Structure 1
Amino acid sequence: MAEITAAARKPLFYYGWVIVALGFVTLGTAFGVWYSFSVFILAIINEFQWSRAAASSIFSTFIFAQALMNPVTGYLQDRFGPRVIIPVGTLVVALALFLTSHAQSLWHFNLAYGVLAGAGISLMGFASHAAFIPKWFERKRGLALGITMAGIGFGMLFLIPLVERWISSFGWRTTYLYLALMVLVALGPLNLLLSRRSPQDLNLLPDGDSDPDAPDNGRPAPTMRLTVVDPQWAARSWTLGAALGTQRFWLLFLAFFCMAFSYQGILLHAVSAMVDQGLTRETAAYFFGILGIAGSGGKILFGYLSDLFGRERTVTLAGGIACIGILCLMFAGNAPSLLPLLFALLFGLGYGAAAPLLPSMCADIFLSKAFGLIFATIAIGGGMGGATGAYMAGLLRDVSNTYTTPMVVFIALLLLSCVLIRLAAPGQVRRMVRLKPQHEKEAP
């Protein structure tokens, strides 16, 4: 009697979507911790009377530490998988937040939140999930990454206003203790129980497809297929060393730098910029929450569109929308109800594209057994850019007493990142193509 492999028996529900849902929750919490510093920074400045540049240096240290940790995270994910690495990350982050709650000087903050929390967020955050989520999907890679990364926006929507209320009611030190408990209790056990490295761990194929040699049992055929445009490039067994020797690697590295410079600078200083223009801190936090949910929509929308129309076109469209949002923030005080809302919606929507598109583009070019390490090394560019942008905006604000100059720089570098991605041309290696309907194939 012929044996039917587990891969040939397509389940009714593909486990990859469980991985997506788990990543949604994990990233929502991790980035709630990340971006909540935009609210903590005002309370910390009020207590210690530091300059904005000095307080911003804590966030810059955080971004730089997680960026330097990313290659280690990618290597560990390639070797051990998320069931080990993400729970370890939750332990590190919880410890870091506990120590931050007891910080008494700038170097305490830089060590506890900057270095230790940055390393822990790397283990449980963006680079960690980007190392294994693309392995679960091919045809729906952009959409799946978009839904996963949409958790970032929901974390911003719910956690940032919640953190603001906790700070107002209990103080920033107690709030950090609450966040530490949330990370430890909610995320560690879930990932230990449910997470898996790849569909092969469960004898499945990407996208939940059936074995191509097995009967299709009447299931509808896919309408899109991932096509290799450059077989010679795609067939290489990519290692980090080989990727470092390519122009595409450095174009993506620079694109990540420019994009993160703009996005992280805006995200850290958006609340402060709105407060400078006359909004209350509570109102600014509310708009920041709207930015988060708009970002979730952008992640799903642009992730899906990138599967249909290509990564390059989609990232350019999203970047243009984000730039219009930054212009709204620059003049928010002129219409304090309308323009902050437009900033939150437009910038959030455009910024949201970065999370699903960056790993998708890297996977289109460098997908291999060493992909986690390769992507994480490219992401160092993002960490360097984010750290520089966050600090630069604070420094220029101290010098000029306005955020106008850094906002102009953010727009220029964001547009440059779109050009660099077009030059890297992931669509010239792999891209989605629409398949002809079966009746058209059979027509004479």
Structure 2
Amino acid sequence: MNSYQKESIETPYGWVVIFCSLILNTIGLGGPNILFVSLKPIAADLDTLRWVPSFAYSLMMLGAGVGGILMGLWMDRKGIWQPALFGSLMIAFGAFMVSFTEGRWTLWVANGLLIGLLGKSAMIAPLVANGMKWFDRRRGLAVAIIASGQGLAGVIWPPLFQYSNDLFGWRQTFLYFAIFALCVMLPLVWLIRKRPPVQNKQTEIKSTKMIDEPSQGISPWTLQVLLWFAVLCCCSAMAMPVVHLVSYGTDLGHSAAHAARLLSVLMGVAFFSRIAFGMLSDRIGPVVTLLIGSASQATMLLVFAAVDTLFSLYIAAALFGLGFAGIMPCYPLIIRLWFPISQVGWRVAAQYLLAGIGMAIGGSMAGHIFDVTGTYKFAFIGGFAFNVIHLIIVSSLFIRFRKNRTKLQTA
């Protein structure tokens, strides 16, 4: 056993924290998934256009992003226990409130304020930031497991919510989800209440020795703003098929059950792909991993715009899930690599805020484009354009990183 392994802070209980965080994240992501599946019946029941429930999703993602910074600061001061407990209660209360909504404003407040700002916000950046503190050698895998809750949620929730919608209606589905969230999330929060181990100083030096490399010739704030703009673009593109895939499938004449399974296939592949990308990131680095995921996502957005048969949609959904899953887990790892550990908490939360804004823009924009054009194809093409901008930004940072590393090695 080498000296680095002896100095590692990793313990078996760290994996308990990671997998409990995974389940919490999965349940928290039930909020947006229930909107994906219920978007059309909600619009029909409230006698409104499709942009109204789409905007509820946008408010949820925006609220989760803003709230993530507040929850991250709360976690830094008090640990993960209090914000995770509060967030769990708010998710349950918000879903309960949606089940009784009679108009757009109640729908927006319940999803944007309760589920998003006060609830789901505790299930994103705080869980990831807390999970990273338990690991030094397998940090990429740990972050990927927590983040793979998005894929796991996509496998579990869409068919379950669709079945419940068909059997009981969307209001009862929200009510049952609220009860389930309350009963399951509270025990899991209790299991992750412990504070992470203190980082070994020598290990910290080893893991942060590359911090200054990418920022030579570029200020930390410029670097951070570029990362924010990058995640804004990639998540705007990402949201378009993720939010509207079920509706897109039914618009093409396929059954609601098949359309819901499309999202399940996408998220199911994403679950396993995200873990694989985490392991890949530990080997080749998060920047290259991010480029691979982004290029794959851009390609599949064009494919979505071109296909319409059920078989081709299943293939497109699977390949989209394979690529987009590798994107978001890379950002906390890049921040951990390029910035001091004392700044990781708020920077990760801010990154997720911009991701939420991007998801909000993409989800709402796709709804508006559909209302104007009657098709989602133009939305997917617009998403491709966003993704190209993302690739340009990340590629530029990668080239600068490689040049600076070469200079340091030859100096």
User: TM-score by structure 2 length?
Assistant: 0.89
Task: Describe the shift of the 1:374–1:160 C-alpha distance in structure 2 as closer, same or farther (beyond 3 A).
Answer: same
The 2-side partners of 1:145 and 1:258 are apart by: 22
Bigger Rg, structure 1 or 2: 1
Look up the match of 1:357. 330
1:128-139 matches, within 5 Å, as 128-139=126-137
Q: Identify which of 209, 227, 244 aligns with 1:228.
A: 209
Look up the match of 1:240. none
State the shift of 1:290 in Å. Answer: 1.0
Task: Describe the shift of the 1:307–1:109 C-alpha distance in structure 2 as closer, same or farther (beyond 3 A).
Answer: same
Contact 1:78 1:131 in 2 (8 A): no
Gap runs ≥5 in structure 2: 406-411
State the shift of 1:352 in Å. Answer: 0.8
The 1-side partners of 2:283 and 2:47 are apart by: 51
Look up the match of 2:275. 300
Task: Describe the shift of the 1:205–1:69 C-alpha distance in structure 2 as closer, same or farther (beyond 3 A).
Answer: same
Task: Describe the shift of the 1:11–1:55 C-alpha distance in structure 2 as closer, same or farther (beyond 3 A).
Answer: closer
Look up the match of 1:171. 169
Look up the match of 1:389. 362
Task: Describe the shift of the 1:394–1:30 C-alpha distance in structure 2 as closer, same or farther (beyond 3 A).
Answer: same
The 1-side partners of 2:138 and 2:129 are apart by: 16
The 1-side partners of 2:7 and 2:357 are apart by: 46
Look up the match of 2:385. 412
The 2-side partners of 1:65 and 1:273 are apart by: 26
Look up the match of 1:118. 116
The 2-side partners of 1:38 and 1:96 are apart by: 16
Q: Identify which of 253, 263, 287 aligns with 2:228.
A: 253
Task: Describe the shift of the 1:168–1:365 C-alpha distance in structure 2 as closer, same or farther (beyond 3 A).
Answer: same
Task: Describe the shift of the 1:193–1:55 C-alpha distance in structure 2 as closer, same or farther (beyond 3 A).
Answer: closer
State the shift of 1:196 in Å. Answer: 3.0
Asked if residue 422 in structure 1 is aligned to residue 403 in structure 2, the reply is no
SS at match of 1:157: helix
Q: Which amino acid aligns with 1:308?
A: R
Q: Identify which of 32, 40, 46 aligns with 1:42.
A: 40
Q: Which amino acid aligns with 2:239?
A: Q
Q: Which amino acid aligns with 2:90?
A: V
The 1-side partners of 2:384 and 2:212 are apart by: 36
Residues 74-119 of structure 1 deviation map (CA, whole Å, 9 limit, x = unaligned): 1111111112211110011111111111110001101111221101
1:237-386 matches, within 5 Å, as 246-333=221-308, 335-337=309-311, 339-386=312-359
Contact 1:365 1:426 in 2 (8 A): no
Look up the match of 1:217. none
Contact 1:90 1:183 in 2 (8 A): yes
1:60-99 matches, within 5 Å, as 60-99=58-97
Asked if residue 185 in structure 1 is aligned to residue 183 in structure 2, the reply is yes
Residues 389-444 of structure 1 deviation map (CA, whole Å, 9 limit, x = unaligned): 11111111111111111101111212321322333449949xx9xxxxxxxxxxxx
Contact 2:306 2:377 in 1 (8 A): no
The 1-side partners of 2:253 and 2:85 are apart by: 42
- Farther-moved stretch of structure 1 (414-423 vs 53-62): 414-423
Look up the match of 1:440. none
- Farther-moved stretch of structure 1 (398-407 vs 410-419): 410-419
Contact 2:93 2:178 in 1 (8 A): yes
Gap runs ≥5 in structure 1: 1-6, 213-224, 235-242, 433-444
Task: Describe the shift of the 1:364–1:269 C-alpha distance in structure 2 as closer, same or farther (beyond 3 A).
Answer: same
The 2-side partners of 1:72 and 1:158 are apart by: 29
The 2-side partners of 1:15 and 1:176 are apart by: 34
**What is the number of equivalent residue pairs in this alignment?**
396
SS at match of 1:37: helix
State the shift of 1:13 in Å. Answer: 5.7
State the shift of 1:366 in Å. Answer: 2.2
> Taking every aligned residue pair, what percent have the same amino acid on both sides?
25
The 1-side partners of 2:121 and 2:58 are apart by: 18
The 1-side partners of 2:301 and 2:56 are apart by: 24
Task: Describe the shift of the 1:12–1:59 C-alpha distance in structure 2 as closer, same or farther (beyond 3 A).
Answer: closer
The 2-side partners of 1:426 and 1:111 are apart by: 44
State the shift of 1:244 in Å. Answer: 9.3
CA RMSD of aligned residues (A): 2.8
Contact 1:160 1:288 in 2 (8 A): yes
Q: Which amino acid aligns with 2:371?
A: D
State the shift of 1:148 in Å. Answer: 1.8
SS at match of 1:132: helix
The 1-side partners of 2:51 and 2:7 are apart by: 58
Contact 1:325 1:345 in 2 (8 A): no
Q: Which amino acid aligns with 1:408?
A: I
Higher relative helix content? 2
User: TM-score by structure 1 length?
Assistant: 0.82
SS at match of 1:155: helix
